Structure 1
Amino acid sequence: MTLDETRLPVGEMSTAVDDFLAASPAARAWDVETAFDWSAADAGLLTEGQRSAVRFITLIEDHLPGYFDVYHRNFPVDDTVAPELFVHNRELYHFTVRWALEEDTHARALARYQTAAGIAEPAPLREELAIEGRKHFDLPYEHPVQFFAYALVQEKATQMYYQQLRDVVGDPVLASVLTRLSRDEARHFTFFADVVTRYLRVHGDAAVGPIRDVVANFRMPLADTMRGYWRWALRIADVADYDHTAAYEHLLKVIDRAVDTPTDRVDELLDFIAQCRAVR
């Protein structure tokens, strides 16, 4: 299949984007400056593990420029693509700029919490974030559906972690921040799930192999670039009883609902995902 043939028809992508934006009107957006009582933030109400978790997720969220660049490079909106492909990518861009704004708000909220609660001072925090933020981020995929399948799992896993961390933290301000973040991640997951569903309905078995490859080689963002990532990730997982493979259950549901008559390849994919979840 050519690059054009592996992408969703423009109408399918446009509908997915329109549905997301209709469910997420700008009037319902929140901002860092007024959504929380920062004067009440108190890291003294957190355990050492919870403070470590806040530092970790701030680093992950703050890498937004790298994540956004992945979409710019793989779904360009410039003269490097033919007009037909530009139209598809331009429709997707309506989503990615809203998504980027919301993710950048997450990064700012977590950094603001750190400074307001006494976890970090502004200047050293900016320097710490720059160490990881300057590192290149990439998703080495060839099929367009893979970018959406990866984001589906990543957004759901992030949502689940924020919810579980919220339930154990002692500072009400941080709990409020995590509630806002988890709601946004849930909406992002819904968009990516919708797009993956459309890929499966349009392309059928041709989308199965690429999705399988995503699951087989899945790593959360920055897992391959952040120094000490795995030790830190295991430590913060214990803080909120977290396992990112729990998000695979939601991928299974998306595939099951998308395919009316499962083929052998779809059945194999479902079995493979279930086995990955069991092994983890």
Structure 2
Amino acid sequence: MTVSNTVTSATSDQEAGQRRPARSDRSFARPVLPPLLPASDLAAAVTAFHSAGSAARRWDVESAFRWDEAEADRLTEGQRSAVRFITLIEDHLPGYFDLYERAFPLNSDVDLETFIHNRELYHFTVRWAQEEDSHARALFRYQVAAGIAEPEELRRELAAEGRKKFDLPLDHAVSLFAYALVQEKATQLYYQQLRTVAGDPVLADVLTRLARDESRHFAFMADVVERYLRREGDAVVEPIREVIATFRMPLADTIRGYWRWALRIREVAHYDHTDAYAHLIRVVNRAVNARSDRVNELVTFIDACRTAPVPA
């Protein structure tokens, strides 16, 4: 279920001397609006992320898998379709990275303090991008090795989608982190579910590696959102609420037939991005000791947006 409730931001038109730009088309602001975390807070989250991804846990596409044993005949048609779907999503990495470069620029147009903040974040984004690019390469390699697709045909298919611009209708820095928190956790959960039904052990191994990376990416975003809530409290409630009110998974508006395809892969392995909302609620609960009325309303809203379980 995709929530499409319309919300009105309670954020002031003027924050830290910056007036909110007009958005008749709801295009994403460049750069993001404040507040920004202190660079020291962001650096601590970045350090924790890098520490969790020690060299012993890293992997590379060329040597981590037994590509010569990959076999698509071990997969159902639905499982092959799911592999094609997630390859398209992962391969759009240049678009995702471009969004972060536009949202958190590192150039002479930003003031010194903003540059310092964005430079600390860059220590995360370059590592995150490298890992996500490895996901795309591993899924490409699997499709070719297993006999799902021919390399040249697959490159053209991925390029046709990759040329499309990725954007989000979100204004604030905390909104981007909250969006990524939900998206990374939802992706992790799906990879874990798909792994349990995958008929090919090579694919199961690939999905295990990808899910572990997504779990670390989620942990970073959760750390950042938690720090925002502790420092800013009610001031970031509305930007977080807007994320849930408008949430769509990446490329939902650009891949032709996305929703039919998403429903199909859900039949292969349980998939519901609202399963990730419970993890956002846990982050809020950890961050806020004495919850205000606004925080209580936020938790109630997030919980209400979760897909209700189907009765037995």
Moved over 4 A (4+): none
Which residue of 246, 259, 264 corresponds with 1:230? 259
User: Is the contact between residue 34 and residue 172 of structure 2 (CA under 8 Å) also seen in structure 1?
Assistant: no
Which residue of 70, 79, 94 corresponds with 2:99? 70
* Aligned mates of 2:212, 2:57 — CA distance in 1: 12
Q: Does 1:196 align with 2:225?
A: yes
**1:1-280 mapped onto 2 (5 Å cutoff):** 1-2=15-16, 5-279=34-308
RMSD of the alignment, in Å?
1.1
* Aligned mates of 2:307, 2:141 — CA distance in 1: 38
Give, in angstroms, the shift of residue 114 of structure 1.
0.1
Cα gap change, 1:137 to 1:5, in 2 (>3 Å) = closer
Structure 2 residue identity aligned to 1:273: I
* TM norm structure 2: 0.88
* Aligned mates of 2:240, 2:205 — CA distance in 1: 34
Identity in percent: 68
* TM norm structure 1: 0.98
Give the secondary-structure state (helix, strand or coil) at the position aligned to 1:277.
Answer: coil
* Aligned mates of 1:80, 1:279 — CA distance in 2: 46
Give the secondary-structure state (helix, strand or coil) at the position aligned to 2:97.
Answer: helix
Unaligned runs of 5+ in 1: none
Unaligned runs of 5+ in 2: 1-14, 19-32
- Out of 15-24 and 219-228, give the one that drifted further: 15-24
* Aligned mates of 1:180, 1:22 — CA distance in 2: 17
* Aligned mates of 1:117, 1:219 — CA distance in 2: 31
Corresponding residue for 2:28?
none
Give, in angstroms, the shift of residue 78 of structure 1.
1.2
Task: Give the structure with the higher percent helix.
Answer: 1
* Aligned mates of 1:27, 1:165 — CA distance in 2: 25
* Aligned mates of 1:202, 1:50 — CA distance in 2: 44
Structure 1 residue identity aligned to 2:66: D
* Aligned mates of 2:232, 2:267 — CA distance in 1: 40
* Aligned mates of 1:133, 1:7 — CA distance in 2: 30
Give, in angstroms, the shift of residue 77 of structure 1.
1.0
User: Is the contact between residue 166 and residue 251 of structure 2 (CA under 8 Å) also seen in structure 1?
Assistant: yes
CA-to-aligned-CA distance 1:101-136 (integer Å, 9 cap, x gap): 000000000000000000000000000000100000
User: Is the contact between residue 92 and residue 162 of structure 2 (CA under 8 Å) also seen in structure 1?
Assistant: yes
Give, in angstroms, the shift of residue 239 of structure 1.
0.5
